[in-house]
Amino acid sequence: MFSYYLRLALASIRRTPVLSALMVLALGLGIGAFMTTLTVYYLMSGNPIPHKSDVLYAVQLDNWDPNEPPTESAHDVQPQLTYRDGNTLMQADTPALRQVHMYGTGAIVVPEDETPPFDESVRATWYTFFEMFDVPFLYGQPWTLDDDEARASVVVIGRELNDTLFNGENSVGRSIQLDDQFYQVVGVIDHWQPVPRFYHADGTYRALADTEQVFVPMNRAIDVQWGPRGNTNCWKPMDESLPLFEGFIRSECVFTQFWAELETPEQAAAYKDYLDNYVRGQKEIGRFERPLNTFISNVMEWMDVNRIVQDDNRVLVRLSFLFLLVCVLNTVGLLMAKFMGKGGEVALRRAMGASRRHVFQQNLVEVGLLGLLGGIAGTGLAWLGLRAVEAMYQGYQHLVHLDAVMLLTAIGVAAVFAILAGMYPVWRVSRLQPAGLLKTQ
């Protein structure tokens, strides 16, 4: 019967092309708009590292100006650390399984051939970064603790940069020039793009920005005086007796990110205690004049603390849902109009022995078909919508990658809303009394 109903549905759609097109368009636009905003929201609020998000913790210490009002939630505390605190913790024997201390910076890559030098974002970090964040390696491996301690000129590069500089060959053991110095390649990582890019939050966060293509030991970056590219916040003047960079890294300015890997709640509690004790110790030498305020937040809590999903996203999701609702109401109205015009045919089929269930199924198939067409149109429109969003926003390069999930969701949403829209008209039309409608035509 299904194929028969499908044939009838197609015939019926062909009979009222304008009305049908209007319904498909309305559903398609509603679903397209909703899916677009929902996809952005879903990407922003997604878990960038599902298998480890519970054991990775971002660290916050409140070293801020004692004159500022006290803070209570993690959101009010600086999301970054001073270099000196991070560096001390990094080298301390803490209860954490691993820790990483890092900051975002940049350098000029000078190719060996005659192609012009170009600027690259650089992550200055520790060897633990790659293991903690599960970074996939194409060639080689991370540098070692020895390299960090020796402040070695080693580098891990990304696949795209490796393609540019070495035509994608295994470049381990070769060197690249950053600014005016050479760095030996120890590893090449595969394409790696956590969405959102959770590991770097500095308050001016571009959640969907590209990951860096250059990773160097943090100690090395400090030695060559690469300044931070991200947000830097200071409240206390630097020591003017020191050279500027020296003064900067010893200052109370915050510009580094710090993460700890803590496997159990007990470990997390012990680590928190450790941080509190560290701060108490610092208080004794006159730092950390504010109330004790340390926070550790796992990945999803960190997303929330940093308000990764912007209010604009949420407003758009809400509005586009209402938009979809209008489109569904619109479709219900048009379906009612269309189906009420079918009274004659329904009565005839009933006289020929069709049961209510037959009529219901027949029209449900038609509604389902319209829903499917609406869903397809909606998916297409959502794709265009995401392209438009990508073009309009800075740093939204990774939106259209997750099509499979999106496609299924779009079609699911379309089906649900088409059936919601169609259920009542279909029910109504199946309740039409066969008698009486046959006389007049």
Do 342 and 360 touch, CB atoms closer than 8 A?
no
The DSSP bridge pattern shows strands 137-140 and 214-217 to be unpaired
Per rule CB under 8 A, count of chain residues that contact another protein: 86
Site for another protein in 145-204 (CB under 8 A): 179-180, 204
Do 206 and 395 touch, CB atoms closer than 8 A?
yes
Query: Judged by CB under 8 A, does residue 420 bind another protein?
Result: no
Q: Which of 19, 32, 28 is nearest to 425 (CA)?
A: 19
Pick from 6, 49, 150, 332: which binds another protein (CB under 8 A)?
Answer: 332
Query: Judged by CB under 8 A, does residue 326 bind another protein?
Result: yes
Q: Residue 201 region, left (φ>0) first, then alpha (ψ -120 to 50), else beta?
A: beta
Pick from 83, 323, 383, 417: which binds another protein (CB under 8 A)?
Answer: 323
User: Cβ closer to another protein: 30 or 48?
Assistant: 30
Query: Judged by CB under 8 A, does residue 392 bind another protein?
Result: yes
Pick from 269, 351, 405, 408: which binds another protein (CB under 8 A)?
Answer: 351
Count other Cβ atoms within 10 Å, centred on residue 46: 18
Pair of tokens at residue 134: 């599960």
Pick from 268, 279, 354, 364: which binds another protein (CB under 8 A)?
Answer: 354
Query: Judged by CB under 8 A, does residue 113 bind another protein?
Result: no
Query: Judged by CB under 8 A, does residue 33 bind another protein?
Result: yes
User: Cβ closer to another protein: 269 or 322?
Assistant: 322
* SS (HEC) of 89-117: HHCCCCCCCEEEEEEEEEEEEECCCCCCC
> Residue 186: what are its φ and ψ, rounded to 5°?
-110, -15
Site for another protein in 259-318 (CB under 8 A): 310-312, 314-316, 318
User: Cβ closer to another protein: 295 or 339?
Assistant: 339
Instruction: In angstroms, give the least distance from the CB of 274 to another protein.
Output: 29
Query: Judged by CB under 8 A, does residue 108 bind another protein?
Result: yes
Count other Cβ atoms within 10 Å, centred on residue 151: 15
Query: Judged by CB under 8 A, does residue 384 bind another protein?
Result: no
Instruction: In angstroms, give the least distance from the CB of 132 to another protein.
Output: 29
> Residue 67: what are its φ and ψ, rounded to 5°?
-80, -15
Query: Judged by CB under 8 A, does residue 387 bind another protein?
Result: no
Query: Judged by CB under 8 A, does residue 22 bind another protein?
Result: yes
Q: Which of 106, 119, 162, 158 is nearest to 136 (CA)?
A: 158
User: Cβ closer to another protein: 7 or 401?
Assistant: 7
Q: What is the DSSP letter of 377?
A: H
Pick from 14, 73, 93, 113: which binds another protein (CB under 8 A)?
Answer: 14
Pick from 115, 225, 264, 277: which binds another protein (CB under 8 A)?
Answer: 225
Q: Which of 305, 306, 298 is nearest to 263 (CA)?
A: 298
**CA-CA distance, 200 to 206, in Å (whole number)?**
9
Pick from 45, 227, 282, 407: which binds another protein (CB under 8 A)?
Answer: 227
User: Cβ closer to another protein: 52 or 356?
Assistant: 356
Cβ partners under 8 Å of residue 232, min gap 6 = 253, 254, 255
Q: Where are the alpha helices (DSSP H) in 216-264?
A: 218-223, 244-250
User: Cβ closer to another protein: 92 or 242?
Assistant: 242
Instruction: In angstroms, give the least distance from the CB of 382 to another protein.
Output: 13
**CA-CA distance, 368 to 383, in Å (whole number)?**
22
Query: Judged by CB under 8 A, does residue 349 bind another protein?
Result: yes
By rule CB under 8 A, what string of x and - marks binding of each residue 56-85 to another protein?
A: ---------x-xx-----------------
Query: Judged by CB under 8 A, does residue 319 bind another protein?
Result: yes
